[in-house]
Amino acid sequence: MVLMDIHSHILPCVDDGPRDIETSLSILEMMKAQGITDVIATPHFIATEENLEEYMQRVDDSYATLSSIAKDKDLPNIILGSEVFYFNGIGKSQSIKQLCINGSEYLLLELPNYSITSYILNNIKELKENLRVTPIIAHIERYYYERGFKNLLKLINNGTVLAQVNATSLLDSPHKKAVLKLIKKGYISFIATDAHSIVNRPPVLDKALHEVAIHFGSNQKSLFIKNTEKLYNEITGEYDFAEQKFVYKP
């Protein structure tokens, strides 16, 4: 069975995640103890603050070092991606494909914390229509009360985007009520750790999946795991699931 964490900040010295490789390895140890077999490293990329080539070089170097050591220690397999902060014109940016998960057609996308305008939504739609890139909206619960959120949900309904919530938001969090509503209505494809450290933002995927089972039953928990398996198969090219949809509710 594959249990993949699709959103994490585990690469050392590249963003606001671990400041040393020892911390990265400790996070991976915690993930392994929770049954996580694979993890997508998604360091932040903010186009207005950083040159893409310099970013890619820094990330590639960190990834090569950590993934090699993790493999030797039999820790979760690391897959390279990015968490891209939305920027104007993103739907026409051919270079965005360099930031997709493992060279696939999936992109973890972070939105700004303000009104979700029609301009932003059109840019997101263009990712799919122009570039054949499927955005996965990172920690979508953070935008629940923003103007235009209902229009973002329409993009989930029509298959333009997928949505991810943070594991911590299912626990003792002000976002919990919103997350439960979104899961109940079938908007969420993935639960991920968004792990940054072993103390302040540790991985708690096991606890979040247990919470899902409490509220919605073991079938819903299994479906979230199955969705990570489907994504894993797509991004690694082991199977072709292009004609299948992700499952939201039993």
Give 26-68 pLDDT, tens digit per residue: 999 999 999 999 999 999 999 999 999 999 999 999 999 999 9
pLDDT at residue number 244? 53
Q: What is the pLDDT of residue 74?
A: 98
Domain ranges of the chain: 4-236
Place of tokens 């606001």: 16
Span 198-202, average pLDDT:
94
CA distance linking residue 120 with residue 122, whole number of Å:
5
Give the Å distances, CA to CA, from 233 to 1, 123, 216, 228: 12, 27, 26, 9
CATH code of 4-236, in short, is: 3.20.20.140
Average pLDDT over residues 156-163: 97
User: 195: which 2 tokens?
Assistant: 């792990």
In the predicted structure, residue 168 carries a pLDDT above the cut 60: yes
